[in-house]
Every structure is written in structure tokens, then in C-alpha cells.
Structure 1
Amino acid sequence: MGKYLNRVKTRFGGDTRGMLEGGRYALLHTRTLEFDELRPYVPGDDVRDIDWKASARSGSVLIKRFVSEKHHKILLVADTGRNMTAPAPSGERKSDVALHILGAVGLITLGRSDEIGMVYGDAGGSARVRQRRGENHIESLLHCYRNHVATSRGSSDIACQLTYVAEHYRHRMLVVVVSDEPDADARLEAALTRVTGRHDVMWAIVADMPAVAIGGDGGYDVATGRSVLGAAAREPRVVAAYRRAEKERARRLAELMASRAIPHVTLSGTDGLRRGIVEMTGVWSRAG
């Protein structure tokens, strides 16, 4: 494995059995080489599947049936804006936590031969990597994410990436969003309405570092470079009001996710990676 997938595997582990099974639909059907049974030929069957010896013995044309495998087409939707350069509650950079989430989903797809692609960007726009399979492809996705977080100059705006998905992806997919904590505003609600109307969606959120947990004059906004609370961070009434506002913001976001039946998890760092991914994918798998 490449360096990023290896790094993810040390946190997530290598056992992905049973993950992403079920769901409301399998998006790509293929067949294995494992023989299942013989059945009579019907018009439209592939003539390459005819078993000529068995047909000669039975006096009728028989075809071989093979065990079917169900795969998914998966689209990662990743925030590469400036917000992802801020620290998570664990002290890790948010982009590092996000990279582990993206890599964990990639590891799950390896054992299932799922196709996986990515849409990424910031408030300035979106770009994409086409869906393919394989270890090298997933490693290149992680390299792409890392490089764009490092060079992005725009602020985070995951509604921009979701709107891009709604406009450019017409066939049903499993969409896995990885971002920081967005505001549940009208733009995000409208984008989610469009995307969930066609696709299944799961969402892994990388938590913000609380501004009042920094000490001194509080934290600063990486998007603007300004202090969040300034000297007021020392005043108990201001801190209490800030915490109420953050609790309300989290409640609105949770309600938006619930209203769109989106399984989601919030991660404070990579220590909770496996637990969070197992929880999120388990909810989705049971949805079918």
C-alpha cells in the first residue's frame, strides 16, 4: 500500500468485512466465476453462457448461471477549503482527520471492488476525480486531497461541492461527504434536497475546536484570520452565550440531517475513526 493508505490502516485496521453491505440498492451488478446452477435458455441470454454438453444431455438449451456480486459506485465529497487547516478538538489538523476518513472509506471499497471517485473544492469551485477501482487509485485520491488542502486559498463551503454533485452526477451513487461543521443554512438545505433526491448520502463531520477551549483571548477563524471572541473570551457570560449558540448550531445541523435521513457521525480526531465509520456505515446498511 501507499504511504497514506498505510497510515490510515494503522488507525482503522484491515478488517472491513460486512461494511457497506445492504443499503437501499446495489448500484453495480457484476458476476463472479463461481458457478451457481443451470437453467433453460431464454431469448436475450448471453450465448457465451450456454453449456453445450449439458444441453446435449438434456435435449434442451441450458445456460450457466453464476453467483452475482453487488457493488456500489461511491463518490467522496471532500472539503479542501481553509477551514480544514484549523485544529480539531484532538489537536490534529482537521485535514489529517478528514484524510483518514476518506482513506477508511477507500479501504472498505478495496475488498468489494467498488468504484470510487471524488469531488473536492472550496467556496471558489469544485473539481473531480473519476470513479475507478484499486489501491493505486485510492492512494492517488488521498494525494489529491492532501495537495489541494495545502494549496487552497478559498474558504470552506461544502454546499458548493454538493451543488456540483447535483448538477453533474445523474446516476445513483452512494455519496460520502467529509467536511468540517457546516452551518445549516438555506443554501446547504437546498443543495442537500437536490442530492438526496437522487443519491444515498452519508456524512462524516470533523468537529471544530471550541473557541473557548484555546485559552487567553480564545481561538481565531482560519477563514478570516480574526479572533472569534477576543478579550471577551475571559468573560463567563460571553463564554456561556457562545456555548449556547454552538449547541443551537449543532441542533439545527442534526435536525437537517435527520430530515433528509442522512446517517452521520462527528469525529473529534483519528482515535475515534473506526468506531465512527462503523457506526455511520451500519446505520446506512440497515436503511434498506
Structure 2
Amino acid sequence: MGKHLNRAKAHFGADTRGMLEGGRYALLHTRSLEFDDLRPYVPGDDVRDIDWKASARSGHVLIKRFVSEKHHKILLVADAGRNMSALTPSEEAKRDVAAHVLGAIGLITLRRSDQIGMVYGDTRGCVNMRQRRGETHIESMLHRFYGHTLDRPGPSDIVCQLEYVATHYRHRMLVVVVSDEPEVDARLDDVVTRLAARHDVMWVMVADMPALGHANGYDVASGRFVLNSAVLGPRVVAAYRRAEQARVRDLREFMTTRAVPYAVVRGSSEIRARLVELTEVFARAG
């Protein structure tokens, strides 16, 4: 297993049983290699499935029937822009937590043989990685995503990536968005409404380090310094906290009214608990 998947496994664990079971959309019905029983041949059956020995014994042409499996088609949509350079409340780089979340979802798909792809990028555009199966494919996606976040990324704009998906992906699938907490505006409203009408959408948001309560820092998006609470004074701090409460409330209402399950991850140690909650919501939708 590659280094990115191993890092995700260290935080998420190896037990993925029961995760992403059910769900309404994006199911590919295939057969497994597990034999179920025999049934009479009917025109249109694949002749390769004929059990010739059983047919000879019974005097009738019999077909092998296999256990049916359901596989999801999953698309990861990830912010690889400048916002991922910031810190989380756990003091990890957001790019690291995001990569661990993406890797954890990849680990879930391995056991199920789901197809998984990724769209990532920043305000300059998107990189599209086609849906495939397998450990090597997932490790490659994580490697390319992580490399983009390190190599002079552009400003973050997750709506840019979502608009690409809404335009280019027509068949129903499970779309898992991994970004920071988005700003609720008309652009976000339009693209989420379009996506949710066609796909199952889940959102994992990587939280920012609180702007107050720490030494002077800077905003990675703008490069401007952020003063600490001692310099700003109690009135400014109180106004900031009211604005933060309103932002969180607006975001919660936005996701709830559009039936988009979401989770806020404050550090890698929370990934398993938050993803278990999200996958349980997905299973209940099935």
C-alpha cells in the first residue's frame, strides 16, 4: 500500500465493513464469483454460464447463477487550492487532513470494488481523473492531489470544481466533496441544486483554525495579517463571534434544506467518526 493510503489507514483504520452499503443512486449491478444455484437456460442467457455436467445429469440445459453484487460509482471532488495551506484546529495542515479523508474513502471502496475518480483543482481550473478500481489508482489520485496543493496552488474556488462536475458528469453517482467550509452565496446555491437533483452528494468540510485566540497570523487566501484578540479589543471580538455563529447557522440551514449530508472535521483523529456518520446517512437513503 502506498504512503498516502497508509497515512489514511493510520487515522481511519482497516475495518470498512458496512460502509457505503445501500444508497439510491450510482449502483452497478454485477455478479460476484460466488456461486448461488442453478436454473433452466432461457434464450438470451450467456452460454458461457451453462453448467454442462449438471445439464448432462439432469437432461436439461442448466445455467449457473451467481450472487448479485452492487457497486457504487464514486466521484471525489476536492479543493486543492490555496485554502488547503491553512491550519486546522488540530494544528495540522488542511491539505494533510483532506488527503487523509480522501484516502479513507478510497479504503472503503477497495473492499467493495467500487469505481472511484476525482476532480480537483482551484480557481484556475480542474483536473479530472477517470473512475477506476484498485489500490494503485487510488494512490495515484492522492499523490496528484497532494502534489497540486504544494506546487503554488491558485486561490480556492470549490464552486469551480462543482460546476465542472455538473456540466460533465451526467450519469448518477455518489459525489463526495472535500473542501473547507464554503461561503453560502448564489453560485453555490445554483450548482449544489443542480448536482443534488442528479446525484447523491455528501460533503466533508475541513475546519479552519479559529482566527482569534492565537498569536498574530495571516489569511492564506489574501496574505493579509490577522490580529489577535488582545489587539482587536472586546467589541471587535464580540462582533466577530456573532458573525461566525451566523455563518455556521447559514451553512447548516443551506445543507439541510438541500438534503446534503455533511460533516465538519477538525483534525485527522475525527475522520473515522465523521465518515461513519455520513455513510450511515447514505445507507438510510437506500
Question: What is the TM-score when the length of structure 2 is the normalising length?
Answer: 0.95
Distance in 2 of aligned mates of 1:29 and 1:287: 18
- Structure 2 CA distance for partners of 1:265 and 1:231, relative to 1, 3 Å: closer
Give runs of aligned pairs for residues 94-109 of structure 1, distance below 5 A.
94-109=94-109
The answer (yes or no) to whether the contact 1:78–1:179 under 8 Å persists in 2 is yes
Q: Which amino acid aligns with 1:82?
A: R
2:262 aligned partner:
264
In the TM superposition, what is the alpha-carbon distance from 1:40 to its structure 2 partner?
2.4
The answer (yes or no) to whether the contact 1:233–1:239 under 8 Å persists in 2 is no
The answer (yes or no) to whether the contact 1:122–1:152 under 8 Å persists in 2 is no
Q: Which amino acid aligns with 1:40?
A: P
Q: Deviations over 1:220-279 (max 9, x none)?
A: 221110134578853111111111111111111111211221111001111111111111
Matched, 1:274 2:272: yes
Quick check: 129-138 or 47-56, which moved more? 47-56
Give runs of aligned pairs for residues 131-280 of structure 1, distance below 5 A.
131-216=131-216, 219-228=217-226, 234-280=232-278
In the TM superposition, what is the alpha-carbon distance from 1:210 to its structure 2 partner?
1.4
Q: Which amino acid aligns with 1:167?
A: T
Q: Secondary structure at the match of 2:24?
A: coil
Give runs of aligned pairs for residues 34-53 of structure 1, distance below 5 A.
34-53=34-53
Quick check: 178-187 or 55-64, which moved more? 55-64
Distance in 1 of aligned mates of 2:121 and 2:114: 23
Q: Which runs of 5+ in 1 are unaligned?
A: none
- Structure 2 CA distance for partners of 1:231 and 1:254, relative to 1, 3 Å: closer
What is the root-mean-square deviation of aligned Cα atoms in Å? 1.6
Distance in 2 of aligned mates of 1:91 and 1:232: 21
Distance in 2 of aligned mates of 1:256 and 1:26: 24
Q: Which amino acid aligns with 1:107?
A: L
Give runs of aligned pairs for residues 6-25 of structure 1, distance below 5 A.
6-25=6-25
Q: Which runs of 5+ in 2 are unaligned?
A: none
Distance in 2 of aligned mates of 1:82 and 1:211: 17
Q: Which amino acid aligns with 1:95?
A: R
Question: What is the TM-score when the length of structure 1 is the normalising length?
Answer: 0.94
Q: Deviations over 1:3-47 (max 9, x none)?
A: 111111111110111111111145212211211122222232212
How many residue pairs end up in the alignment?
286
Distance in 2 of aligned mates of 1:220 and 1:285: 41
- Structure 2 CA distance for partners of 1:89 and 1:235, relative to 1, 3 Å: same
Distance in 2 of aligned mates of 1:232 and 1:119: 42
Matched, 1:124 2:105: no
The answer (yes or no) to whether the contact 1:36–1:66 under 8 Å persists in 2 is yes
- Structure 2 CA distance for partners of 1:97 and 1:280, relative to 1, 3 Å: same
